[in-house]
Amino acid sequence: MRTNTDPFQALADPGRRAILMMLSQNRQSINTIAGNFDISRPAVSKHIKVLYEAGLVQIKDSGRERYCELNPDGFNEVKKWLDYFDQFWRTKLQNLEDLLNQQHKTK
C-alpha cells in the first residue's frame, strides 16, 4: 500500500469524495468511474491516483480492465493521527506539569 499522499488532502476534494462514495457501493472499473462523472478521463485517473497514493483505494487488474475498490486499512491512517495526538498531548501536558512543579519548588 502506498501512503505518499496525506489522506486529509486526498479527502479534501469533493470529486474524490464522490468517487469514494461510488466505490462504497461496489468495486468499479476505471472506465465505469470515468463514465459516471462529467470530467475528463485523465482528470478521473488523476483523482484515483491521489486516492491510491493516500492508501484509500486499491487498484486491481482483472482481464482487460483496471478495477478500483476501497481500502479500509487506508482509513486507519486517520485514526493514526488521532492516536498520535492523543499520545502527543499527554506527553506534553506531563511536561507542563513537571515545569509547573519545578517553578513552584524554586520559589
Partner 1 sequence: MKRDLVIKWHFPHPPEKVWECLTSPQLVSQWLMKNDFKPIVGHKFQFHSKPLPKMGWDGIVYCEVLEVIPNQKLVYTWKGGPRPGVIGLDTLLTWALTAEDGGTRMVLEHSGFKGFKNIISSIFMESGWKKGITRRLNELLNEMQ
Instruction: Name the residues that contact partner 1, by CB under 8 A.
Output: 5-9, 11, 17, 20-21, 24-26, 70, 72, 75-76, 78-82, 84-86, 89-90, 92-93, 95-101, 103-104
Would you say 64 or 72 has its CB closer to partner 1? 72
**How many distinct helices (H) and strands (E) make up the chain?**
5, 3
Would you say 41 or 97 has its CB closer to partner 1? 97
Q: Which helix (H) or strand (E) covers residue 59, if one does?
A: strand 57-62
Helix, coil or strand: residue 28 = strand
Write down the least CB distance from residue 75 to partner 1, Å.
Answer: 6
Write down the least CB distance from residue 78 to partner 1, Å.
Answer: 5
DSSP 51: H
Write down the least CB distance from residue 12 to partner 1, Å.
Answer: 8
Give the Cα separation of 46 and 40 in Å (integer): 10
Would you say 41 or 84 has its CB closer to partner 1? 84
Q: Which helix (H) or strand (E) covers residue 21, if one does?
A: helix 14-25
Helix, coil or strand: residue 13 = coil
Write down the least CB distance from residue 67 to partner 1, Å.
Answer: 14
